[in-house]
Amino acid sequence: MRKSMNKPQVEFLEFSGMTYQDAWDIQTKYHNELKSNKVAWRDLTEQQRKEKRQLHRMIFCEHGHVYTLGKSGSKDHLLLTDDQLASKEIEYFKINRGGDITYHGPGQITGYPIFDMDEFYNDIHKYVRMLEECIIKLLEEYNIVGDRIEGFTGVWIKSDQKGKPDRKLCAIGVHMSRWVTLHGFALNVNSDLSYFSNIIPCGIDDEDKAVTSIQQELGRKVDMEEVKVKLKAIFASEFGFEYVV
Confidence of residue 183 (pLDDT cuts 50, 70, 90): very high
Q: CA 191, CA 195: separation in Å to the nearest integer?
A: 9
Q: Name the active-site residue from 61, 134, 170, 202.
A: 202
pLDDT at residue 75, rounded to an integer: 86
Find the mean pLDDT for residues 69-76.
Answer: 86
Q: CA 174, CA 155: separation in Å to the nearest integer?
A: 14
Q: CA 112, CA 178: separation in Å to the nearest integer?
A: 17
Q: Which of helix, strand or coil describes residue 152?
A: strand
Angle at 21 between CA 232 and CA 227, to 5 degrees: 20
Q: CA 132, CA 138: separation in Å to the nearest integer?
A: 10
Q: CA 39, CA 35: separation in Å to the nearest integer?
A: 7
**Looking at the predicted structure, is the pLDDT value of residue 19 above 80?**
yes
- Under 8 Å between Cβ of 61 and 23: yes
pLDDT by residue (tens digit) across 143-152? 999 999 998 8
| Domain assignment present for 1 | no
pLDDT at residue 4, rounded to an integer: 53
Neighbours of 223 (CB within 10 A): 10
| Domain assignment present for 79 | yes
Parent domain of 58:
9-244
- Under 8 Å between Cβ of 225 and 182: no
**Phi and psi torsions of 226, nearest 5°:** -60, -45
Helix (H) or strand (E) holding 151: none
Find the mean pLDDT for residues 169-196.
Answer: 95
| Domain assignment present for 2 | no
| Domain assignment present for 4 | no
The whole-model pTM stands at 0.91
| Domain assignment present for 178 | yes
**Looking at the predicted structure, is the pLDDT value of residue 3 above 60?**
no
The whole-chain average pLDDT of the chain stands at 91
Residue 102 is classified by DSSP as E
| Domain assignment present for 3 | no
| Domain assignment present for 207 | yes
**Domains: count for the chain:** 1
Alpha helices in the chain (DSSP H): 20-40, 46-51, 82-87, 124-140, 214-218, 224-239
* CATH code for the domain in which residue 178 is found: 3.30.930.10
Nearest to 153 by CA among 97, 104, 109: 97
| Domain assignment present for 221 | yes
Active site residue 202: yes
Find the mean pLDDT for residues 65-77.
Answer: 88
